[in-house]
Structure 1
Amino acid sequence: MLTRFHAALNSRLVLSEHCDFCFQSKALDQACCDSCSNLLLTPSQHRCETCYLPLAEPGICGECQGNIPYYDKVVCLGDYQWPIEPVIKAYKYAKQQHLAKPLSQLIWRHIQQTQATLPEVFCPVPLHWFKQWQRGFNQSEALCKQLAKHAAKPMHKPFTRKHYGSSQAGLNRRQRQRALAASFNYQDTLSYKHWVIVDDVVTTGSTANVLAKQLKDAGAERVDIWAIARTPKPSQRR
């Protein structure tokens, strides 16, 4: 009964005439109002060309130069802070699945603006089956389906998550990578060379790096990460 209620509610919210970011009026075919669209899609600072963290000037950050990740490029709408943060929280934790559509539209517009290279195939970051049951959906998969439609490319799910909620507190970078590597199971016989992994938020990049490594070990040549937001380092938060 509750699941049917949430489904019905989300069906109505898809047709809302109010912006999900500021609640002002917008056209039905718009992802958000013009003011929020301009705010979200207008670059405000330089970004690392690999991990998308803010930089003082164009280029690749020192961390990516010194410890080259397995993924090739991260593309996000912006940082995990206002005005994106409350919308992501509503999407993930308040079962507002209708937000997958406007968020994917904004990501797609950003991809078009930046002229990012399109992949051969998309895949979502997997959730453990129990967490997906608790949440009711996989937020990354819902975004991934929409983005694959925009790009007219297939979506494939080669990963499953084996462990639920294992804490990584107190682990160093190498230990986190090993723990994450053991958390995912990769099963695929397809020979795509360019993948895009879709997530909602890139926090440290550890999960993206582990998944990208598994794809490249299986023969992929390029793996990009598309997400709604990137968590800035504490020193970079405004």
Structure 2
Amino acid sequence: MLTRFHAPLNSRLVLSKHCDFCFQSKRLNQVCCDSCSALLLTPNQHRCETCYLPLAEPGICGECQGNIPFYDQVICLSDYQWPIEPVIKAYKYAKQQHLAKPLGQLIWQHIQLTQATLPDVFCPVPLHWFKQWQRGFNQSEVLCKQLAKHAAKPMQKPFTRKHYGSSQAGLTRRQRQKALAASFSCQDTFSYKHWVIIDDVVTTGSTANVLARQLKDAGAERVDIWAIARTPKPSQRR
């Protein structure tokens, strides 16, 4: 289970009776095999109702209470650590785009279990055109198309990333906010009131917060974030 992410699978030669993550046998009506499903799905624990970080009991974390974000709710499939981390890296950096389909199916199952309110429209976190050209695709956009299809909702791309910068990984929340302040532009007005932004990983929430603020400035009333994984704080990592 979860052992062969390095294989070149974009040809879609994997049969539907095999798990897309580890290639072991699975039932035809399953997204993936039982072993991968047990590993990839979010553990049964309390989460902040706003930012999705783990909590000791139900509620909203102190950080979100003291500094209310512009987004309304984050929902993720799992924490950004083993075993989901190598899956995301394979999808994002090894160009294994076929993984968007099973990941989208798992996120959709998780959304249904949480009984989250469906949005009017979906949108992906944008990449700068040069980074997208280098990578060959926008991993958030490919995943967004999958989830919009599951929800039978439209997908829009209201954002443009204006600046090509270095990776935000490793920066503090304050550093990210400063770097992102002028990085995105957004269409002026929208008729849709409830948006869901699709991302691969929510790290500090700074990108999500910037985009949510721009959507609300343009007329949105509610903005949620759905992602594959949420990066835990260092003290919360297992």
- Normalised by the length of structure 2, the TM-score is 0.90
Q: Tell me the number of residue pairs that the alignment of Structure 1 and Structure 2 aligns.
A: 231
- What CA deviation, in whole Å up to 9, does each residue of 1:10-49 have, x standing for no partner? 2424635432444422245532102322343364211111
In the alignment, is the contact (CA less than 8 A) between 1:122 and 1:153 conserved in 2? yes
> What is the match of residue 236 of structure 1?
236
In the alignment, is the contact (CA less than 8 A) between 1:194 and 1:220 conserved in 2? yes
> What is the match of residue 150 of structure 1?
150
C-alpha separation between the residues in 1 aligned to 2:169 and 2:34?
41
Q: Which amino acid aligns with 1:55?
A: L
Percent of pairs identical after alignment? 90
> What is the match of residue 216 of structure 1?
216
Q: Which amino acid aligns with 1:125?
A: V
> What is the match of residue 73 of structure 1?
73
1:114 aligns with 2:114: yes
- What CA deviation, in whole Å up to 9, does each residue of 1:99-138 have, x standing for no partner? 0000000000000000000000000000011111111100
Gaps of 5+ in 1: 1-7
> What is the match of residue 93 of structure 1?
93
- Normalised by the length of structure 1, the TM-score is 0.90
3-state SS in 1 of match to 2:52: coil
In the alignment, is the contact (CA less than 8 A) between 1:15 and 1:28 conserved in 2? no
Aligned-pair distance for 1:191? 1.4
Aligned-pair distance for 1:195? 0.1
> What is the match of residue 4 of structure 2?
none
> What is the match of residue 4 of structure 1?
none
> What is the match of residue 46 of structure 2?
46
C-alpha separation between the residues in 1 aligned to 2:31 and 2:131?
28
> What is the match of residue 24 of structure 2?
24
In the alignment, is the contact (CA less than 8 A) between 1:21 and 1:84 conserved in 2? no
C-alpha separation between the residues in 2 aligned to 1:171 and 1:63?
18
3-state SS in 1 of match to 2:12: helix
Correspondence 1:147-226 to 2 at 5 A:
147-166=147-166, 173-174=173-174, 176-226=176-226
Aligned residues: CA RMSD: 2.1
Change (3 A) 1:169 1:143: closer
Change (3 A) 1:188 1:24: farther
Structure with higher helix content: 1
> What is the match of residue 3 of structure 1?
none
The answer to which of 97-106 and 164-173 deviates more is 164-173
